[in-house]
A and B are shown apart, each in its own frame.
Chain A
Amino acid sequence: EPEVTQTPSHQVTQMGQEVILRCVPISNHLYFYWYRQILGQKVEFLVSFYNNEISEKSEIFDDQFSVERPDGSNFTLKIRSTKLEDSAMYFCASSRDRESAETQYFGPGTRLLVL
């Protein structure tokens, strides 16, 4: 069964460093998402991406964040200058369509720790 994959599974970085989190969505999906979950809290929407551009973003997704689909398979989230509060689990998700009926399938997550 096709699935969303994410690398790395864990990343430790120093405050102020840039990190890139990578995702390979399900191959026939057209809509891509990033979410984050701070430890012990609920999952929060960051950004959605379609047709090589951002379609919606939350207030969390400020200028320090960017997303890119550099080739036909990868979807990346970049944090330019990490802060301590960026420590969280980051989930990538994808769906075939943006209709309410379409399930978003989540990857296994990247656990980011900023020191």
Chain B
Amino acid sequence: AQKITQTQPGMFVQEKEAVTLDCTYDTSDPSYGLFWYKQPSSGEMIFLIYQGSYDQQNATEGRYSLNFQKARKSANLVISASQLGDSAMYFCAMRAWDKIIFGKGTRLHILP
């Protein structure tokens, strides 16, 4: 069965610092996609970044990068130069054919 594990329920980070949000996954499928979504207090789910299981390079999107270590089954999100607007809930997710499976999330607080 597929599973996503996020072990950090909450994090506090000083503004402008880099932050790493941990995510490990479990699947027996050879082909899968890994995603990170941001959920601000308003509730919407905002797609941030995607990593394919066959991608050789780590994905990057602006200040977001995904540290993909396939052998360790980890897909950590790195946010460089954090901003106050980054305060939100962050979900790691895995696409398993028709559905996306989400982790429990990490609540990130950026401190001024």
A contact residues vs B (CB 8 Å cutoff)? 31, 33, 35, 41-45, 48, 55-56, 58, 89, 91, 93, 98, 100-109, 111
Contact = CB atoms under 8 A, between A and B. Distances in A.
Contacts of A43: 45, 91, 93, 100, 102
Contact of A56 (B46, B53, B99, B103): B99
Contacts, number: 66
Interface of B: 29, 31-33, 35, 37, 42-47, 50, 52-53, 91, 93, 95-105
B35 to A, nearest CB: 7
B98 A98 contact: yes
A100 B52 contact: yes
A45 B104 contact: no
B97 A100 contact: yes
Contacts of B101: 45
A100 B53 contact: yes
A100 B99 contact: no
18 contacts: A35-B100, A41-B104, A43-B45, A45-B100, A48-B99, A55-B98, A56-B99, A89-B43, A98-B98, A100-B33, A100-B52, A100-B96, A100-B97, A101-B33, A102-B33, A104-B100, A108-B44, A109-B45
Which 8 pairs, one residue from A and one from B, show the smallest C-beta to C-beta distance? A106-B45, A100-B33, A45-B99, A48-B98, A56-B98, A43-B102, A108-B44, A42-B104
Contacts of B96: 100
A105 B102 CA distance: 14
Contact of A98 (B93, B97, B105): B97
A101 B50 contact: yes
Given A100-B29, A100-B95, A103-B33, 15 more contacts: A33-B98, A42-B103, A43-B45, A43-B91, A43-B93, A43-B100, A43-B102, A44-B102, A56-B98, A102-B33, A102-B95, A103-B35, A103-B50, A106-B46, A107-B44
